[in-house]
A and B are shown apart, each in its own frame.
Chain A
Amino acid sequence: MPEQAQRRAPIAPPEEKSVDGAFEDVSHVVLSPEPKQPKDNDASRAAADAIKMRRDKEDEAALAEALAPTIQATLRESVRTNPHVLADALFPVMGPAIRKSITETLRSMIESFNEALEHSLSWRGVQWRVEALRTGKPFAEIVLMHSLLFRVEQVFLIHRKTGLVLNHVTAPAVLSQDPAMVAGMLSAIQQFVHDSFSSPREDSLDSMTVGGLEVWIEEGPHAVLAAVIRGHAPADYRVALKETLEATERDFGSALDNFQGDAAPFRAADGRLQNLLVTHYRAKREARKPRMAIAAGVLLLLLAAGWIGYVTYEIHKWSEFARSLGQHPGIVVTSYEKSGGRWRVHGFRDPLAADPSLDFAQQGMKPGDADLDLVPFYSLDDSMVTKRARKILSPPPGVELAEHGENLAVSGTAPSLWIVELQERAPMIPGVSHVDDSQLRNAEIVSMQAIVLTFPVGRAELDPGQGAGVAQAEEDLRAIRNYAVRTNRQATVSIIGHTDSTGVEGTNQVLSKQRAGTIAAILARAGVPADALAPRGVGTTQPLRAEDTEEGRRLNRSVTFTVTLASAPGAP
């Protein structure tokens, strides 16, 4: 091929000569047995010049081939004798490179880990897990698909004229097809579109969309930059592409112009291409994250607070219930607990104590809300003992019972029969050990001592119509005497005769005694033994009324009774 021959022809002969001349000098210096005092700087300059000229002749490969073994041996020797020299020299290069590599690896690892972790805990995460299961895709891919705004996965730097790939970078963990073939096909498609649909302005294909992927293409005079983007990149990413392409065209102008298929010089564009591998996650996610997190947090707090509140309320309600229950005389609460979802209250209850169902109502609860496990017992609480005594003794109206520390105080007026019963039964009542009846009056005695039997002026026979009074007296006395027998005592009735103040005192005294005798005789006839009757006359000395009226004087002409109960002679 003649062209080839022509191009190979121009090899500068004069230069060759000068190089050979210098080489001759050097070999002469080195090989001459009797060196003629060479100038050291001349020789070193000649060696440097020789190397330089060799390089200028585009025969660098031969030079490199010649020097390579020496340089390798030198390096090996240098490392062997003192590894620090080389290490120190390389440090500025290796240090940052290693750091960068480690940082990048960690960063991407942490990023994807965070992403996955964050989503695996959220509700959305659960939805995506389901989606991953349903579609059979890995969870990480689903996360990426949903959370990614866009991610530049690959960037190609392509030689425009040949369609050959000059450089190619991929994002971490992205699988890519053979870049040489992809770049070629991309150029072919570019060409196809250009030829088939080109507009007058030499426009070209600047983007393609395939499913979730977009390919953005930026064409310069010598190079083409293509970015494979997952998702939708913003318009300003196009600017970044343009700027990178312009800078590349500028910095690699001659390399692009003279491209012969060797992509090595374009490794230097790695950095700027890596810068184009950007990833943007949904901004929405960041905006929503705190809101969602706060909402979830607040909800959790509310739930927790609600739960704590409910539990506290429940406990309070039940402690309040137990407390109010325990305040009732005759009810003792020993414990309460919740088991199997139901509350149980344990304790004791006197059968006469208040009905607990009222307490349920008071706390806004129903009797069915809890099981009351209250064992019956006798409470020694004063009010309970009183209640018990009242139930057992059923006191007649007008009689009061009051327990004060084992002492049952009874007051009022009661029939002899009941008093007897009281004395027999009260000591048997649990909680009562002593009965105080000092304030209890015998109804028959009270009745008898209230009887006034009147007499006509100056006479010792009863006024007409006094039969009922006499009968009452007889009946009362019979009951009193019965009572005395039952209580092991002896009853004595003082029958007291009175007169009005008219007449002479001496006569009145006699008359009053006669009147008492009349009644004693009546009672004796009714069967009262004489030793139980003590008639006496007091004349006018103990008037029942003031005698400023006729009625007063009439009542003073009378007989009254005083009953005395004394211990029987043989009583213990």
Chain B
Amino acid sequence: MIQKKACMLGSFSVGKTSLVRRFVESIFDEKYQTTIGVKVDKKVVQADGEEVTLVLWDLHGEDAFQKMRMSYLRGMSGYLLVIDPTRRQTLEDALSLQERVQEAMGAIPSILVLNKSDLLEEWDIDLDRVALLEERGQAVIRASAKTGEGVEQGFSRLASAMLQFPV
């Protein structure tokens, strides 16, 4: 069975951990995220007719006090870039984060996850900007950790993209 390392990236409190919790089997406590900055979970998904074991590194969200450890990204095959569309700033932060990641790792598969799709009316981001990103080839998905919408698809799409992308 193929294994792939994938990371959950995004600002503090955008719902990365909620998405993962919705999706994975976990044996570790979430306190690892605050202590060492990461928690590793696992999920087996079907992608392109193949079973893929996703080893998900759920990284602590960046904030004013804690920078993300770039070293945790080493060896990943792809990542979910999660934003909270009700907070405009999270998209900006995510894009600058993606830039840093691309600098270090090159252009590897990624999915931009617009979380909290259940709170659509509260969204505050520039959706035109998102459409532009999509045009340029950035995979985008709307999801809700609360309702489960788009979660499975998000991870499956990432898995599929990672399989097709040779490292």
Contacts and interface: CB of A to CB of B under 8 A. Distances in A.
Interface residues of A, number: 29
A180 B167 CA distance: 20
Contacts of B2: 260-262
Contacts of A195: 69, 71
B146 interface: no
B65 interface: no
B75 A3 contact: no
Interface stretch (B24-32, B81-89, B116-124): B24-32
A263 B1 contact: yes
B interface bracket (residues with beta carbon within 8 Å of A): 20 to 34
A41 B38 CA distance: 62
Contacts of A164: 3-5, 55, 75
A195 B68 CA distance: 12
A181 B41 contact: yes
B157 to A, nearest CB: 14
A370 B164 CA distance: 103
Contacts of A178: 25, 27, 42
Contact of A180 (B32, B55, B74): B55
B57 A184 contact: yes
B76 A162 contact: yes
B137 A188 contact: no
B6 to A, nearest CB: 10
Interface in B93-148: 107, 137
A7 B36 CA distance: 37
Interface in A221-265: 260-263
A189 B72 CA distance: 10
B165 A4 contact: yes
A263 to B, nearest CB: 6
A177 interface: yes
A226 to B, nearest CB: 14
A192 B27 contact: no
A468 interface: no
A163 interface: yes
Given A163-B55, A165-B3, A261-B2, A184 B40 contact: yes
A349 interface: no
A136 B41 CA distance: 32
Contact of B107 (A1, A181, A182, A261): A1
B137 A1 contact: yes
Contacts of B32: 185, 188
A191 interface: yes
B61 interface: no
A181 B40 contact: yes
A159 B26 CA distance: 21
A180 B137 contact: no
Contacts of B90: none
A161 B73 CA distance: 9
A456 B166 CA distance: 177
A459 interface: no
B154 interface: no
A3 B137 CA distance: 13
A4 B164 contact: yes
Interface string B25-52: 1111000100011111110000000001
Contacts of A184: 5, 40, 42, 55, 57
B74 A177 contact: no
A185 B28 contact: yes
A181 B3 CA distance: 11
B166 A7 contact: yes
A194 interface: yes
Nearest to B56: A184
Given A189-B36, A191-B72, A263-B1, A181 B27 contact: yes
A181 B164 contact: no
A192 B55 contact: no
B160 interface: no
B42 A180 contact: yes
Nearest to A159: B75
B40 A185 contact: yes
A3 B107 contact: yes
Nearest to A182: B27
Nearest to B55: A184
B53 interface: yes
Contact of A191 (B39, B71, B77, B165): B71
Contacts of A4: 164-166
A263 B3 contact: yes
Contacts of A189: 36
A188 B165 contact: no
Contact of A192 (B1, B69, B77, B137): B69
Interface string A1-40: 1011001000000000000000000000000000000000
Contacts of A159: 75
Given A181-B40, A260-B166, A162 B75 contact: yes
A159 B5 CA distance: 11
Given A7-B166, A180-B3, A180-B55, A161 B75 contact: yes
A192 B60 CA distance: 13
Interface string A148-170: 00000000000111111100000
A176 to B, nearest CB: 11
B69 A191 contact: yes
Given A4-B165, A161-B75, A194-B71, A261 B25 contact: no
A189 B5 CA distance: 16
Interface string A343-372: 000000000000000000000000000000
14 contacts: A3-B107, A4-B166, A162-B74, A163-B40, A164-B3, A164-B4, A178-B27, A181-B28, A184-B42, A185-B39, A188-B38, A194-B71, A262-B1, A263-B3
What 6 A-B pairs have minimum CB-CB distances, sorted nearest first? A162-B75, A184-B40, A161-B75, A192-B36, A261-B2, A185-B40
Given A4-B165, A191-B71, A261-B4, 17 more contacts: A1-B107, A3-B107, A162-B76, A163-B75, A164-B5, A164-B55, A181-B40, A184-B42, A184-B57, A187-B40, A188-B40, A188-B57, A191-B69, A191-B72, A195-B71, A261-B2, A262-B3
Interface of B: 1-5, 25-28, 32, 36-42, 52-53, 55, 57, 69, 71-72, 74-77, 107, 137, 164-167
